[in-house]
């Protein structure tokens, strides 16, 4: 893990982070507090911008607007790619995060 963190700090301009896909494959259901704690640990470990990727159909983890609002307060979280199947989700996340995130549409039907 130290090698990965050193590599990020030296070479990366940011971290594009997709929740581990294996969670959905093995049926892991995570609570918001667990997802938040995970992002808090990543945020504390690096100093580069974090690009959160919410893709519930791929990962089985759906980060809803209130959770994303909490995550957006972390020091390094700066961007979000929103790929939930709910077309109005981007607008809801934008309101909840109060401009703290630059949000990108991850689905053609939400762009």
Catalytic residue among 11, 17, 39, 53: 53
> Does 11 participate in catalysis according to the annotation?
no
> Does 64 participate in catalysis according to the annotation?
no
> CA 61, 64, 70, 72 torsion: positive or negative?
positive
CA gap 64, 73 in Å, rounded: 15
In the structure encoding, which two tokens stand for residue 100, read together? 């703290």
Catalytic residue among 11, 39, 79, 81: 81
Contact 73, 100 (CB under 8 A): yes
**40-54 b/e (C-beta count within 10 Å ≥ 16 → b):** eebbeebeebbbbbb
Q: Which residues are catalytic?
A: 53, 81
């Amino acid at each position: 893990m130290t090698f990965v963190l050193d590599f990020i700090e030296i070479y990366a301009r940011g971290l594009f982070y997709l929740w581990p896909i294996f969670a959905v494959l093995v049926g892991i259901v995570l609570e918001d507090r667990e997802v938040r704690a995970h992002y808090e640990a990543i945020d504390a470990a690096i100093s580069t911008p974090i690009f959160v990727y919410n893709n519930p159909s791929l990962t089985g983890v759906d980060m809803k607007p209130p959770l994303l609002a909490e995550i957006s307060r972390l020091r390094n979280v700066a961007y979000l790619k929103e790929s939930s199947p709910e077309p109005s989700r981007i607008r809801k996340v934008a309101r909840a995060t109060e401009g703290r995130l630059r949000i990108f549409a991850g689905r053609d039907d939400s762009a």
